Structure 1
Amino acid sequence: MTLKELLAGLDILSSSADLNTDIHEVQYDSRLVEPGDLFIAVPGAAADGHKFIPMAREKGAACVLCEKIPEGDVPFVQVADTRRALAVVGGNRFDHPARELTMIGITGTSGKTTSTYLIKSILEQKAGAKVGLIGTIQNMIGDRALHTERTTPESFELQRLLREMSDAGCTHVVMEVSSHALVLDRVYGIRFAVGVFTNLSQDHLDFHKTMEEYCDAKALLMRQCDVGIYNADDRWAARLMEHADCPRRFSYAVNAKADLVAKNVALHAGSVDFDAEADTEWSHVHVGIPALFTVYNTLDAMACCWNLGVPLTECADALAKNHGVKGRMEIIPTPGMDFTVLNDYAHKPDALEKVLRSAKEFAKGRVVVLFGCGGDRDKTKRPVMGEIAGRLADFVIVTSDNPRTEKPEAIIDDILVGLRGCDTPHVTIPDRVAAIHYAMDNAQSGDVIVLAGKGHEDYQEIDHKHYPMDERVIVAEHLRDMRK
């Protein structure tokens, strides 16, 4: 493509480049630049791409797209915002694949992953769709799984992925849209057929600073969708929808008045049942994932698919065949043992509270929670999570999550602040594997052991390195040892 074709739709402030230049490829990482490439200098949290313009030029970049005019004889094009420009160039480079797809975006603090899988399942079973999925656990093109490194890819990579999905025959794409992605314009220029808001609770305050700022970031999705679906039971919904700019709004709830409501909710050890009502439609719903928040995840999935033309009864039939999502209220098999091990990604205060409340609903014995907090992340939630664990669990094991560059003991000390003044017995075991062994060795009849925080992850991040750690494997191996 020519430089002019790649830059179509951008407001150019100044330029020294020949817009008819043929461009080999687009790069925003100077290490990947090859002769004839366009290098886009994007300011980042850790480093400013403008610092790497000399390296890109040395490696043969044909042109630099930048916010600040570079020194020397570098052919450049100056724009006001290179992060947004990256999204525009990505759309041009891959011929706007989102326009060929029915795009569905899910945002919220919790529930995004489960909701995307439920929506994918319904649409594939009942709408004859081939659905691409983009999210925390993995990306999927139909049944083919792809590795993912972040919840929402960088804008250029997102456009590349959408092109691959469209070319593979996908008709729909359902994706998690993080608040970071919205603020950092990773989905800039994409129009969503449906946008879904799940809920809002404390998280990412190291990035957004206040809950109001966090809410307003989530609201950005509601400015680029045709149908805005929201949880009317969430206390932040009113503020979020004040900022919405979508032609149609649709609400769901368990307690509040809404367009789609759940009634007669019944929670069981391995499932939930309820009646769903919207307009004149009604259907009984059974989902094989325990917990009240499963009702909300199910409602938003049904609301999405109903707005795309799938009747409630068809949604319910598809959901009855769904057996859950890895690391989301996942029961790890413990055959021959009279305790239950529950694995969940809960690594935020609200999510931890919901998981523990759900565990208390069906536990015949104690609720034992094992958790830590991630290093190099929002420190304010650590004592909050400690308080929640002490208040709701019968026994607390404080351990490590992903300590990253922090000392595990320092993170644990922050968590213990929230446990002060609490009578709930607790122990600290920094080694997570040893902590899991301890929980299983000391389990009593009827206990539910909640392994919180890691969920689908099969590694532990320490000092920028990933070490293998799959809690399913750890539990299975220790079960064998316990039987010896």
Structure 2
Amino acid sequence: MMKLSALLQDIDILQNTVPGDPDIGEVRYDSRQVQPGDLFVAIRGYATDGHQFIASALEKGAAAVVCEEAPDGVPAIVVASSRRALAQIGGNRFGHPSRKLTMVGVTGTNGKTTTTYLIKHILEAQGIKTGLIGTNQNLIGDEIVPTERTTPESYELHRLFAHMVEAGCTHCVMEVSSHSLVLDRVYGIDFAVGVFTNLTQDHLDFHHTMEEYRKAKAILFTMCDKGVINMDDPASEKMMLDAACPVETFSAKLDAADLTAKDIRLHADSVDFVASADEGIARVHLGIPGEFSVSNALAALGTCRALGVPLDKAADAMRTAHGVKGRAEVVPTPTDYTVLIDYAHSPDGVENILRAARGFTKGRVIALFGCGGDRDKTKRPKMGAIAARLADFCIVTSDNPRTEQPEAIVEDIVAGMQDSKTPKEVIVNRPEAIRFALDMAQKDDTLVLMGKGHETYQEINHVKHHLDEREIVAEYFAQKF
């Protein structure tokens, strides 16, 4: 229980029609979860508007409602932004736990997950207990907390921060999506360091233009004490101009950056390079393949430098870092070809992983992929064109069709492959497509399964059906051998 006035502390209230100062049981932003004595916060969502469910929340016994527009006779606290109010309420409810943590936020189209894991690994090698919030899962030290979205809603974020503090964490590194910045899920959080990995086409169904998408990510650099920015990305100059904090840069190509990579060597299962900064150089080995791994490693090293970890110590710690599930993940198989699983679901992501595979593959590169439904349709033919250009054989299949027809999504992808002579096969059923790919793979080939990554489901018409590509591969070989 907590007094309403305590939950509303420091919130700019436009109108308050709630009688007295009731005790509040829990804070809800989903009317279906409301119980007697709860506070319901009506937020305007991407698909639905919580204001439509105020009456339902009150029928279920809500003691009061926080909203932007209050119906007549409703015990309401009217605010300018319910989303921001929810974030502030979360901070008040859990004792502002983010203020007790050194917060690190990583934003960018690709590389966020791997970069956050590398930062966590380096910090914990220094004896710093670190929490993590991201796409794959949330971690409180070593405890795994499942996640539904890259950045949880603000109230759940503060609950997670509180658990981290209780568990003895002093630092938290989190992926910060463009959605979360625009929708105020991270409103009011002070980040010690903000990190920018890159900007490529994604989420244009939500942001509409690339510049709007970039500006969304730039919000992070108005919320942090120091920025760490990838100088190799074309958007970096604008990101630095928009930053309201000192910025340090990293680059795998340019000498002008604060942290650079020299003598880069790419291997089938790792990368090696020499990291160079004002304080000296350090030899870096990271057991994740691909040129993009150099950028991710630099982002992590630059972040840890900004947090006070010497470059040589950070580089030493990185040697023992393992790959992240669903990111250039090598699937164990009793065969003489390689199977990779990667989360690539944007044009740049597809290009990165296929270039990485091309770099070490002696035989053919076989690309299997689809595109998600109810998302940016303009990237579909682009992903098809890139795959046809970089792979020796393409298998176009279904990803998460959501409420769209899988066949229609496939047609959009294939449209971008019409001018290519690269052979392709269309098999909409994803498990069937994977088995087809395994059947055709030969010695020294690399089969790249793109799009699902860490996911163990396929979403069709709002229902998540179990689908783990690792299991499909394992079952295939169990039957074959």
Smaller-chain TM-score bracket = over 0.9
Distance (Å, rounded) in 2 between the aligned partners of 1:8 and 1:85: 10
Shift of 1:271: 0.5
CA distances 1:248-274 after superposition (whole Å, capped 9, x unpaired): 211000112200000000000000000
Report the 3-state secondary structure (helix = DSSP H, G, I; strand = E; otherwise coil) of the residue aligned with 1:13.
strand
Alignment of 1:143-292 (within 5 A): 143-246=142-245, 248-256=246-254, 257-292=256-291
Distance (Å, rounded) in 1 between the aligned partners of 2:276 and 2:9: 46
Distance (Å, rounded) in 2 between the aligned partners of 1:378 and 1:217: 17
Distance (Å, rounded) in 1 between the aligned partners of 2:54 and 2:383: 44
CA contact (8 A) 1:152 1:176 kept: yes
The answer for unaligned runs of 5 or more in structure 2 is: none
Report the 3-state secondary structure (helix = DSSP H, G, I; strand = E; otherwise coil) of the residue aligned with 2:420.
coil
Report the 3-state secondary structure (helix = DSSP H, G, I; strand = E; otherwise coil) of the residue aligned with 2:229.
strand
Report the 3-state secondary structure (helix = DSSP H, G, I; strand = E; otherwise coil) of the residue aligned with 2:86.
helix
Distance (Å, rounded) in 2 between the aligned partners of 1:334 and 1:14: 63
CA distances 1:290-313 after superposition (whole Å, capped 9, x unpaired): 000000000000011111111111
Alignment of 1:326-405 (within 5 A): 326-335=325-334, 337-405=335-403
Distance (Å, rounded) in 2 between the aligned partners of 1:409 and 1:75: 49
Stretch deviating more after TM superposition (7-16 or 372-381): 7-16
CA distances 1:351-378 after superposition (whole Å, capped 9, x unpaired): 1001111111000011110000011111
User: What residue in structure 2 maps to residue 426 of structure 1?
Assistant: 424
Shift of 1:154: 0.2
CA distances 1:120-175 after superposition (whole Å, capped 9, x unpaired): 1000012x111111000100111110110000000011011111111111111000
Distance (Å, rounded) in 2 between the aligned partners of 1:301 and 1:191: 19
CA distances 1:152-199 after superposition (whole Å, capped 9, x unpaired): 000011011111111111111000000000000000000001100000
Distance (Å, rounded) in 1 between the aligned partners of 2:168 and 2:382: 46
Shift of 1:19: 5.4
Amino acid at match of 1:113: T
Distance (Å, rounded) in 2 between the aligned partners of 1:475 and 1:55: 47
CA distances 1:195-248 after superposition (whole Å, capped 9, x unpaired): 0000000000000000000000000000000110000000011111211111x2
RMSD across aligned positions (CA): 1.0
CA contact (8 A) 1:103 1:192 kept: yes
User: What residue in structure 2 maps to residue 96 of structure 1?
Assistant: 96
Report the 3-state secondary structure (helix = DSSP H, G, I; strand = E; otherwise coil) of the residue aligned with 1:150.
coil
User: What residue in structure 1 maps to residue 405 of structure 2?
Assistant: 407
Report the 3-state secondary structure (helix = DSSP H, G, I; strand = E; otherwise coil) of the residue aligned with 1:322.
coil
CA contact (8 A) 1:4 1:19 kept: no
Report the 3-state secondary structure (helix = DSSP H, G, I; strand = E; otherwise coil) of the residue aligned with 1:250.
strand
CA contact (8 A) 1:65 1:76 kept: yes
User: What residue in structure 2 maps to residue 138 of structure 1?
Assistant: 137
Shift of 1:481: 2.2
Shift of 1:32: 1.6
Identity over aligned pairs, percent:
60
Distance (Å, rounded) in 2 between the aligned partners of 1:135 and 1:254: 25
Distance (Å, rounded) in 2 between the aligned partners of 1:263 and 1:19: 66
CA contact (8 A) 1:288 1:320 kept: yes
User: What residue in structure 2 maps to residue 449 of structure 1?
Assistant: 447
Shift of 1:3: 1.6
Distance (Å, rounded) in 1 between the aligned partners of 2:433 and 2:197: 32
TM normalised by structure 1 equals 0.98
Distance (Å, rounded) in 2 between the aligned partners of 1:13 and 1:85: 12
How many residue pairs match? The answer is 479
Amino acid at match of 2:6: E
Q: Does 1:29 align with 2:30?
A: yes
**Structure 1 residue runs of 4 or more that deviate by more than 4 Å after TM superposition:** none
Shift of 1:82: 0.6
Distance (Å, rounded) in 2 between the aligned partners of 1:393 and 1:43: 43
Distance (Å, rounded) in 2 between the aligned partners of 1:455 and 1:92: 36
Stretch deviating more after TM superposition (431-440 or 197-206): 431-440
CA contact (8 A) 1:2 1:19 kept: no
Shift of 1:24: 2.0
